[in-house]
């Protein structure tokens, strides 16, 4: 069998009902919460931390001055780890966390977070070490975060220069039921940004991307090999990428 066996269901975190406690003042059946990140050596002898794990003193014979591990620490670390596993197993993605971003030196490229204002969409990080908050940036999702949220657009039939509403647009759904649409220009955006344009209606009207000649910024932002790209069928799509070297959107 490929992959891994299906794990047992985890309906809740380990020790979820145990009272918050600490090795310095343990409660019977309690858990260390919050679990310390920094070393506790020299603060509370024998106390565990994320930095040290269970310290050497807990693995030293009591005859040589060692201390048994604290039960509240065992409950605490298992609670901390299983709380995340239980949330992931329940399909709950993470929001942006400024404290975590600072502690770990920013989010890694490819990290995926749920959008705070719209839990049906996600942010995708495109920059290593990114500490910016996509939920509060202006426009939302700027500073190297892309949105997976489709943008519903009903564009008036005919030629249109298109100014994208934000730097994080990812999928742009276009409704052509009222007539054929020709999209004739794009404003410049962040280098490497991808934009997928998709025709979402079943009419025979086409959504067409065309280059324009001329000296205006909007006229020169779309570079395609053929004179135009037509999307006549429902859910037909094309993806373009902004290239700052040539200063244009190009088909990918």
- Which of 87-101, 121-135, 173-187 has the weakest average pLDDT? 173-187
- Distance in angstroms (rounded) separating the CA atoms of residues 56 and 136: 44
**192 CB-near residues (< 8 Å, 6+ apart):** 126, 241, 242, 243
Q: Tens digit of pLDDT for each residue in 109-134? A: 999 999 998 888 899 898 999 999 99
- Which residue's structure tokens are 């990140």? 37
Is the predicted pLDDT of residue 49 greater than 80, yes or no?
yes
Ordered by where they begin, the domains of the chain are 20-89 (no CATH), 94-148 (no CATH), 150-251 (2.60.120)
Res. 86: pLDDT tops 70:
yes
Contact criterion met (CB below 8 Å) for 89 and 10: yes
Strand partners, 237: 198
Average pLDDT, stretch 3-8? 91
Distance of CA 163 to the CA centre of its chain: 25
Q: Give me the percent of the chain exceeding a pLDDT of 70.
A: 85
d(CA 149, CA 122): 7
Question: What was the pLDDT predicted at 81?
Answer: 98
Predicted local confidence at residue 90, as pLDDT: 95
pLDDT (0 to 100) of residue 166: 55
The whole-model pTM stands at 0.67
Give the per-residue pLDDT at 120. 81
In terms of C-beta density within 10 A (0-12 exposed, 13-18 middle, 19 or more buried), how is residue 182 classed? middle
| Cβ within 8 Å of residue 225, ≥6 positions away | 251
Local confidence band at 54 (pLDDT 50, 70, 90 cut-offs): very high
Largest CA distance in the chain: 87
For residues 169 and 151, the answer to whether their CB atoms sit within 8 Å is yes
Residues 6+ apart with CB under 8 A from 163: 187, 218
Strands 248-251 and 228-231: unpaired
Q: Is the dihedral of CA 117, 188, 153, 197 positive or negative?
A: negative
C-alpha 67/C-alpha 51 separation (Å) is 18
Most confident of 74-83, 142-151, 182-191: 74-83
Per-residue model confidence (pLDDT) at position 147: 79
Q: pLDDT-based confidence at 163, cuts 50/70/90? A: low
Predicted pLDDT of residue 44: 96
Distances (CA, A) of 85 to 7, 71, 78, 176, 223: 11, 21, 10, 44, 46
């Amino acid at each position: 069998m490929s992959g891994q066996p299906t794990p047992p269901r985890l309906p809740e975190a380990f020790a979820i009902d145990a009272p918050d406690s600490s090795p310095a003042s343990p409660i019977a059946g309690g858990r260390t919460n919050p679990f310390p990140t920094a070393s506790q050596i020299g603060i509370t002898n024998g106390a565990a931390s994320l930095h040290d794990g269970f310290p050497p003193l807990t693995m030293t014979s009591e005859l040589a001055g060692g201390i048994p591990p604290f039960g509240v620490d065992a409950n605490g670390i298992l609670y901390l780890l299983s709380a995340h596993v239980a949330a992931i197993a329940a399909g709950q993605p993470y929001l942006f966390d400024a404290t975590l971003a600072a502690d770990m030196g920013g989010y890694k490229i490819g990290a995926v977070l749920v959008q705070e204002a719209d839990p049906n969409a996600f942010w995708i990080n495109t920059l290593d070490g990114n500490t910016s908050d996509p939920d509060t940036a202006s426009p939302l999702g700027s500073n190297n975060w892309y949105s997976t949220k489709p943008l519903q657009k009903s564009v008036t039939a005919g030629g249109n220069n298109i100014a994208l509403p934000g730097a994080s647009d990812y999928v742009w759904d276009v409704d052509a039921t009222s007539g054929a649409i020709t999209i004739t220009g794009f404003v410049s955006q962040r280098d490497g940004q991808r934009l997928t344009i998709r025709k979402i209606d079943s009419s025979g009207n086409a959504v067409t991307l065309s280059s324009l000649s001329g000296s205006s910024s909007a006229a020169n932002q779309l570079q395609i090999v053929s004179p135009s790209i037509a999307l006549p069928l429902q859910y037909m799509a094309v993806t373009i990428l902004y290239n700052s070297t040539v200063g244009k959107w190009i088909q990918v």
